[in-house]
Structure 1
């Protein structure tokens, strides 16, 4: 390998790794800000949060990798241009295309790795991430007894605490309603203060109540009146135990999420699309068979030359007004029957077709991730050579602009394809198709040393147009 190629590779790999970690960190912070209310205060173990963050980072690779390639390529060639290293490379007889050759090989390898990641690892990461996030959001809050609120989190009980100490364990003004079999408050307990703690096995919550009274209403001897007998018990100290099984995190079976498009690889997506398409075709044939009995044909002889007076067919078949009215009513009822037959089948057809488009989009996205890396590199590398600025200043601004352009176009194409306004193939590749000519144009301009962003060139051009005299 030539020394110049080794220099370019070292100049690219370092900023690529740094920018990849920065972008992943920013996306991870966005995830935490979005779901902070669903994760904080639920008593999760530290490894649950760490596992969720790890799976989220894996799902963010599809967005972070193209942006990192774009930003690092602009920084690499911008730094080489700022330090006049590109000038030295060109003076040695090496063109910009040859200088981009080792970088292009690296980016192609990255694209192949991105395709393998999206096909083999990303479906598994999506399955783990969305199933764990679903269970985490469904988990009840760990704040079992909030202040001045009747808490119904324990089955069969309503508990209100007037105030708590800062430690969260010493309680004041405790009121406990215990529901009976008919959801009637048959037992009420009041306590001046209390202490709340969990057992060592974390299976029960213990409330040690102090200075209180318990009122209990029980049926009489005849069991006719459910509140015939009142019992009052005063106590200096007592304990009540509440099970915590409802507050432990329960994992949902991951097989319930496997039918989503994001959780499938290429083989599974292809199988689903083929089977769904066969179902749509069979449904179409079934619809034809259902409608056939409602289609009636009448053979009316044509007008003959030997017949001097031709009688219209409707007057032959229907001779009176009442018969015409009955025929119209029968026709309207048959139309309503056909509509009833087709209504549910039409809704199923629309849902199945929409699902097919969504799965075809996911199938194409496995390939567009690697193609996006190549196209954004073709944009970033010549842009860096043209602007000749390294670091995290101007390259960040330009890379964000182009990445937003790519993201907006791809999002619009994806939504249009899912709604049926565009073909799924066009919707998945429209951003690549629109940005590829820009990359080729910028590569040509950088190879010909065009002053694309030199404002003085544009000023002189407009001045010549202004002062140019007409013939």
Structure 2
């Protein structure tokens, strides 16, 4: 390997690592902002948050790797162009295409690694993250009393305190409603003060009440009418202790097998297997629907004339060969059959739609495995020649250009994927649309950079447009002369 190749590799690796970690940090912050309400105030251990963030890092690799590839390539060749090192490389007899060759090999290795990552590792990460995020969002927030507001997070109780101390351990003027299974509050407790503490094993919350009264209504369970002789108890206390079970605030882990059939948790082989099984079911469903629909379509027996069957292909109208009663019956039967066929089609459509949507999801996810790898090559093919053209390094213009081109790619990819999921486009076109649209741009920028032509030279484009217009005019003039001679 030449020293020039080592120089370009060293100039590329450092910006790539820096931009990769910056992009990953920004994406993690966006993830935290999105789920901040589900994470704050629930008393998670630090390792739970760290596990969730580690899974999210792997998931966000699909967006961080192409963006960092684009930004680092623009920065690398922008720095080389700004310091005139590209000029020295070309003066040494090495073309820009040959200078980029080792970087294309490195990017190809990154792309191959991203493909195997998306096929073997990402489905497992999606499974673990999906189940963990589901449990995190389902977990209740910690027990927290706001002054003057009833708190019903503890099952069977509603607790209110008019005021509390600064550390939250002392509550004043408390009211506690104890609900039975029927939902009515049969027991009510009032206390001037309450002291909150946890049991040694943190399984229970112990509430020590001072100077209060408790009312108990011993009504018969599920009683349908009022009984004037039912027992009503009231007793006062100077000090009492109530224990609340806090097991409902624990985060219970859901079985991961419940999420395994989701399309994002499958690799290529599993997607092919699930897609084939879904196709078999769709084919059988279509056959059943066709058979059931034909049962409602019959030729009415009123197609006759003088007691003999009449050919329905003739131009004679049914009203001309049938009595008014037969004509009325034929119309009623036809309307009833049309309603039955419409209801059948609507019901079968409701049954068919989920499986059709599932089939689209499988196809979209299958193509996504390949688009991640190809997008790295594509964005490098845009960024490297663009950096050589603009010849600006640092974090100024390269960052702006990288964001613009990545937004174009991301917007096209997102809109096309949404259209594919809505069945407006086929999954193949939807997932590859952004790559198909931007590939000519990458080829054009590569041509511009290797030929040392200016990208924003208006005079050059004007001359080419004029030459093209002259060719078009000459073509039509020759065609007119040929038509005139023939005439």
Give the alignment of 1:233-312 within 5 angstroms.
233-297=235-299, 312=316
Q: Which residue of 2 aligns with 1:358?
A: 361
Q: Which residue of 1 aligns with 2:331?
A: 328
Secondary structure at the residue paired with 1:174? strand
Q: Give the 3 Å change call, closer, same or farther, for CA 276–191 of structure 1 in structure 2.
A: same
Deviation of 1:218 (Å): 3.0
Secondary structure at the residue paired with 1:75? helix
Q: Give the 3 Å change call, closer, same or farther, for CA 335–447 of structure 1 in structure 2.
A: same
Indicate whether 1:126 and 2:126 are aligned.
yes
CA contact (8 A) 1:190 1:213 kept: yes
Q: Which residue of 1 aligns with 2:471?
A: none
Deviation of 1:174 (Å): 1.0
Indicate whether 1:343 and 2:346 are aligned.
yes
* Post-superposition CA distance 1:136-180 (Å, at most 9, x none): 111111134332111222222211111221212111111111234
Structure-2 separation of matches of 1:64 and 1:406: 13
Indicate whether 1:28 and 2:28 are aligned.
yes
Q: Give the 3 Å change call, closer, same or farther, for CA 73–219 of structure 1 in structure 2.
A: closer
Q: Which residue of 1 aligns with 2:374?
A: 371
Deviates more, 1:414-423 or 1:174-183: 174-183
Q: Which residue of 2 aligns with 1:437?
A: 440
Q: Which residue of 2 aligns with 1:185?
A: 185
Structure-2 separation of matches of 1:373 and 1:291: 50
Structure-2 separation of matches of 1:181 and 1:380: 65
Q: Give the 3 Å change call, closer, same or farther, for CA 98–462 of structure 1 in structure 2.
A: closer
Unpaired stretches in structure 1, ≥5 consecutive residues: 302-309, 466-471
Structure-2 separation of matches of 1:219 and 1:8: 85
Deviation of 1:462 (Å): 8.0
Deviates more, 1:289-298 or 1:150-159: 289-298
Structure-2 separation of matches of 1:311 and 1:289: 30
CA contact (8 A) 1:360 1:424 kept: yes
Structure-2 separation of matches of 1:83 and 1:95: 17
Secondary structure at the residue paired with 1:242? strand
Secondary structure at the residue paired with 2:212? strand
Over aligned residue pairs, what C-alpha RMSD do you find? 2.4
Deviation of 1:378 (Å): 0.6
Deviation of 1:445 (Å): 0.4
Structure-2 separation of matches of 1:74 and 1:192: 69
User: How many pairs align?
Assistant: 450
Structure-2 separation of matches of 1:285 and 1:201: 61
Q: Which residue of 2 aligns with 1:415?
A: 418
Deviation of 1:185 (Å): 2.5
Structure-1 separation of matches of 2:290 and 2:183: 56
Q: Give the 3 Å change call, closer, same or farther, for CA 148–437 of structure 1 in structure 2.
A: same
Structure-2 separation of matches of 1:176 and 1:293: 65
Deviation of 1:312 (Å): 4.4
Deviation of 1:460 (Å): 9.6
Structure-1 separation of matches of 2:181 and 2:445: 77
Q: TM-score, normalised by structure 1?
A: 0.90
Q: Which residue of 1 aligns with 2:384?
A: 381
Q: Which residue of 2 aligns with 1:143?
A: 143
* Post-superposition CA distance 1:379-404 (Å, at most 9, x none): 00001111111111110000000000
Deviates more, 1:292-301 or 1:270-279: 292-301
* Post-superposition CA distance 1:91-144 (Å, at most 9, x none): 000000000000000000000001011111111111111221111111111134
Deviates more, 1:151-160 or 1:409-418: 151-160
Structure-2 separation of matches of 1:326 and 1:366: 60
Q: Which residue of 1 aligns with 2:485?
A: none
Structure-1 separation of matches of 2:82 and 2:413: 33
Indicate whether 1:393 and 2:382 are aligned.
no
Unpaired stretches in structure 2, ≥5 consecutive residues: 306-313, 466-487
Give the 4+ runs in structure 1 shifted more than 4 A.
297-301, 310-313, 459-463
Give the alignment of 1:452-467 within 5 angstroms.
452-453=455-456, 457-458=457-458
Q: Which residue of 1 aligns with 2:116?
A: 116
Deviation of 1:357 (Å): 1.5
Structure-2 separation of matches of 1:103 and 1:311: 76
CA contact (8 A) 1:300 1:313 kept: no
Secondary structure at the residue paired with 2:295? helix
Secondary structure at the residue paired with 2:241? strand
* Post-superposition CA distance 1:255-300 (Å, at most 9, x none): 2222221111111111121111122222222222213333335898
CA contact (8 A) 2:191 2:212 kept: yes
